[in-house]
Chain A
Amino acid sequence: MDHEATTDEPQPDSVTDAPASATATATRELGEPLVELSGVNKHFGALHVLRDIDLTVRKGEVLVVIGPSGSGKSTLCRAINRLETIDDGTITIDGQPMPAEGKGLARLRADVGMVFQSFNLFAHKTVLDNVTLGPRKVRGLSKKAAEDQARTLLDRVGVGNQAHKMPAQLSGGQQQRVAIARALAMNPKVMLFDEPTSALDPEMVNEVLDVMVALAREGMTMIVVTHEMGFARKAADRVVFMADGLLVEQAHPEEFFTAPKSDRARDFLSKILTH
């Protein structure tokens, strides 16, 4: 909430002169480091999908990860709540290292919201039950409290009138907004978005992006893997460009899109922006 004023303020002057790592913090006041990756490596067989990744995301920061397919950006996102294991390196959430398994891992995952490309709503449960399941079974909320909270969240993402439908009866855009509400219901410290609009029909992309922009304005810490450059420009504090498992470049979105430093980024942007 307290970031709302600063987000809208364009600060181009301070951005262009400052070094890449400093620009992100220049746009708005960011808190303590919340998600920290250091020396993270991962192989899929012979393929080295994450190479020595060091990355820090601060409280309230909106980080957009872009890159060609196969660059490791989805793997990076999924590794943060350990849907993918890592070979070495450390990942900490709010100072706590991610446990390998068990109750500790489940507890930490509850604090990390995840939105998937394919929505993954629980297919046998109503929209309302999808949103109340975590709060009731993990957080121990009463049915009443969980449903009240769920209705507020569903209203907020604009699908309040769909509460009693099954996921299959909803459009893709509606399903993804329910998925965002389901993740928010856990009061997460950080939200991960793994290509949230890639499986959507074009006309439904904006309704999901609007919800995400609103979330960013409210000060939610977000890590977003996406190809939506409009979203990156509008809401991101920092853009990270990945290629071949490497974190190639990071910069303020405006700076990255107008004057990318690396050849790989220039090449990538020329392919996606020139048609």
Chain B
Amino acid sequence: MDDYLAGFTELFSRYDVVGAFWVNIQLTFWAGLIALAVGTLLALMRISPVASLRLTGTSYVTIFRNTPLTIIITFMVLVVWTQLTVTLAPDFNANFFWLAVVGLAVYHAAFVCEAIRSGVNTVPVGQAEAARAIGLPFLAAARLVILPQAFRGSVAPLGNTLIALLKNSTVAAAGSVATETASTMKVMIEFSPNHLYAIFFIFAMGYVILVIPIGLATTWLSDRLAVKR
């Protein structure tokens, strides 16, 4: 038993487990930020009075929401980088990191858009009518009246999207981000196969520990920010 525990703790000194989680947190942070911006823009397009913008927004969501993330991430590396030679960072590894961030962001933007749209549905139509009636054009009405209330109504679904994004960030392994958790786990299983169960346990628990606070925070925020009507 002591031997096993010693081997378990040795896993942490031999492999940079914490560092691997940190890479996934960074992937999630940057992809989440970009996805939030792009997703908000898509949601605006989908509720806009301009038919061509609505069509563009709907097409984006339909394409990216229904495409497997692994395909998007490998596309980023094999097509965007290798074929189209788009380089996002001079450093070899940083380039893979940012390609993965963009892949994660374009995929999750579709889900962010739908989360915000579900929030827009919590805003009574009279709010938009009142905004238009005092002479606010569409963008001003959206920015000042609709979106502030929609965001408050979409905290819970946005939290779900963030949780999915954090776990999906392991797909960056398919995009040659070698230092993140899924890649690290594969290396550990290969070189320390006698600790197979422990290795699975470490990574499963790591994600549980990261995700639980997100769930608690979004529930709390969702209640706190809810618009009283």
A-side interface residues toward B, CB under 8 Å?
81, 83, 101-103, 106-114, 116, 118, 120-124, 133-134, 137-138, 166, 168, 179, 182-183, 186
Judge whether B134 and A123 touch: CB under 8 Å. Answer: no
4 closest A-B pairs (Cβ-Cβ)?
A110-B135, A134-B134, A120-B126, A114-B133
Known: A101-B49, A120-B126. A109 touches B149 (CB 8 A): no
How many residues of B sit at the interface, in one of the four size bands?
Answer: 20 to 34
Per DSSP, chain B at the interface is: helix
Contact bitstring B124-156, A, C-beta under 8 A = 1, else 0 = 101101111111110010001100110010000
A166-B136 Cα distance, complex, nearest whole Å:
21
Judge whether A109 and B133 touch: CB under 8 Å. Answer: yes
A120-B145 Cα distance, complex, nearest whole Å:
11
B-side interface residues toward A, CB under 8 Å?
49, 124, 126-127, 129-137, 140, 144-145, 148-149, 152, 227-229
Residues of B within 8 A of A113 (CB): 133
Residues of B within 8 A of A111 (CB): 135
Residues of A within 8 A of B135 (CB): 106-111, 134, 138, 186
Please name the residue on chain B nearest to A185 by beta carbon.
B134
Residues of A within 8 A of B145 (CB): 122, 133
| Residue of A102, A113, A122 ringed by the most chain B CB atoms within 10 A | A122
Judge whether B127 and A183 touch: CB under 8 Å. Answer: no
Residues of A within 8 A of B133 (CB): 81, 83, 109, 112-114, 116, 183
Residues of A within 8 A of B126 (CB): 116, 118, 120
Per DSSP, chain A at the interface is: mixed
Judge whether A133 and B144 touch: CB under 8 Å. Answer: yes
A266-B183 Cα distance, complex, nearest whole Å:
83
| Residue of B135, B140, B145 ringed by the most chain A CB atoms within 10 A | B135
Judge whether A123 and B136 touch: CB under 8 Å. Answer: no
Known: A116-B126, A118-B126, A137-B144. A106 touches B137 (CB 8 A): yes
- 20 CB contacts below 8 A, A to B, read A83-B129, A83-B132, A103-B137, A106-B136, A109-B132, A110-B135, A112-B133, A114-B130, A120-B127, A120-B129, A120-B130, A122-B145, A124-B148, A124-B152, A124-B227, A137-B144, A138-B136, A168-B228, A182-B130, A183-B134
Please name the residue on chain A nearest to B152 by beta carbon.
A124
Residues of A within 8 A of B127 (CB): 120, 122-123
Residues of B within 8 A of A182 (CB): 130, 134
A248 → chain B closest CB, angstroms: 28
Judge whether A116 and B136 touch: CB under 8 Å. Answer: no
Residues of A within 8 A of B140 (CB): 137-138
A144-B136 Cα distance, complex, nearest whole Å:
20
A213 → chain B closest CB, angstroms: 22
- Point out the residue from B49, B137, B229 that lies within 8 Å of A168, measured CB to CB: B229
Residues of A within 8 A of B132 (CB): 83, 106, 109
A106-B49 Cα distance, complex, nearest whole Å:
14
A112-B132 Cα distance, complex, nearest whole Å:
11
B180 → chain A closest CB, angstroms: 39
Given contacts A118-B124, A124-B152, 14 further A-B contacts (CB under 8 A): A83-B129, A106-B136, A106-B137, A116-B126, A120-B124, A123-B149, A133-B134, A133-B136, A134-B136, A137-B144, A138-B140, A182-B130, A183-B134, A186-B134
Please name the residue on chain B nearest to A109 by beta carbon.
B135
Residues of B within 8 A of A134 (CB): 134-136
A132-B152 Cα distance, complex, nearest whole Å:
22
Please name the residue on chain A nearest to B126 by beta carbon.
A120
A110-B145 Cα distance, complex, nearest whole Å:
16
Residues of B within 8 A of A186 (CB): 134-135
Residues of B within 8 A of A108 (CB): 135
A130 → chain B closest CB, angstroms: 9
A117 → chain B closest CB, angstroms: 9
A137-B140 Cα distance, complex, nearest whole Å:
8
A114-B131 Cα distance, complex, nearest whole Å:
10
A120-B129 Cα distance, complex, nearest whole Å:
8
Please name the residue on chain A nearest to B138 by beta carbon.
A106
